[in-house]
Amino acid sequence: MGERDGIRSEAVLAVFLFFSVLLLLFNGTLKSQGARRNMGHMFQGVQRVAGVGSSYVKNGFGSIKRLREMRVQYEAALERLGKYQGLERNLVELRRQNSELKKILGLSAEIPYEHIPARIIGGDPSNLFSTITIDQGLMDGIGAGMAVCAFQDGFFGLLGKVVTVSAHSAQVRPILDPDHFVAGRLQKSRFEGLINGKGDDEGHLIMRYVRKSAGDSVGINELVVTSGMHSIYPPGIFIGRVAQIQTYEYATSIELVLVPVIDTGKTEYVFVLKEQETSL
């Protein structure tokens, strides 16, 4: 009996390993057929509901923290105003949200491209990947391959691109991902290169295939923008700043390590750029 169970479990293991390897081998084909997208709709729907719920819980946690700080400073006053605490808390949160939304609305008007604003509602369930989930989907006009941007510290920067879309949410592959490539151009010296995520903990990017002759004219902190060449990204969107220049004797090009202008960890709201007809 025990031996039979052992054989059965090993057979099951072999079958599932075989299936997993098949999935890995035909990953690209599955993606192109949209099978993954269709299956992912259900899970992303659940994730969207949880994302909306979790933002309420997060706000609750934030309120508790603020309440604690206020208690220390205004203990006596808070005793008298106890019954207004909940109201006040909501008011502060609403004001914060209001000013944030006003700011986003103002910034949104500045974007020269047709866009859809969205909120980040989720990340990756494990630390191995850098998935971002947003709360807008197919029904809101989002499509796979659309560029995703955000405002941070005065820069309108590239955050990533939409990979899979469900009815009311979408998954974004950020530029930090080593498997995400963007055609970039140095803003001042105008040299071109190909940018992808370095995959390190600091979230650096790496710009490859920059001409060796650029070595002298590229400076630290020089900005890099999208080149718009054969790319889904419109030209002129900020990507990052040069942090390090790597030159190798044997190579015909140089590599630049970039710090992205958008820190995905601090980003709450994004703008999905609608696909547009290229005029050039």
Partner 1 sequence: MIKRLLVITVICLGFSVLQSTLFIQILPFGFVPDFSLIFLLAFSWHYGSLLGSIAGFIVGLHVDFLSLAPMGFHSLLFTITGYLYGRLQDNIAPDIALLPMLAALIAAALKYGGAVLLDLVFALNLGMAEAFSLTTLWEILADILVAPLVFFLSRYVWQLIDAKKGGF
* Chain contacts with partner 1 (rule: CB under 8 A): 2, 5-6, 8-10, 12-13, 16-17, 19-25, 27, 30-31, 36, 39-40, 43-44, 46-47, 50-51, 53-55, 57-58, 61, 121-131, 133, 163, 171, 173, 177-179, 197-201
Nearest approach in angstroms of CB 200 to partner 1 is 4
Nearest distance from residue 40's CB to partner 1, in Å?
A: 5
Q: Can you tell me the distance from the alpha carbon of 213 to that of 129, in angstroms, rounded to the nearest whole number?
A: 35
Between CA 63 and CA 65, with CA 64 as vertex, the angle to 5 degrees is 90
Nearer to partner 1 by C-beta: 173 or 185? 173
- Report the SS3 class of residue 194: strand
Q: Give residue for tokens 């949104």.
A: 108
Whole-number minimum distance, CB 21 to partner 1, in Å? 7
Q: What is the largest CA-CA distance in the chain?
A: 75
Nearer to partner 1, 57 or 91 (CB): 57
Q: What's the closest the beta carbon of residue 100 comes to partner 1, in angstroms?
A: 16
Is 167:42 a contact under the CB 8 Å cutoff? no
Closest CB 66 distance from partner 1, rounded Å: 15
Whichever of 208 and 211 has its CB closer to partner 1, that residue is: 208
Q: Cα(233)–Cα(158) distance, rounded to whole angstroms?
A: 9
* Residue partners of 70: CB distance under 8 A and separation at least 6: 78
| Residue nearer to partner 1 on the CB measure, 143 or 236 | 143
- By 3-state DSSP, what share of the chain in percent is helix, strand and coil, each rounded to 5? 40, 30, 30
Judged by beta carbon, residue 97 or residue 217, the one nearer partner 1 is 97
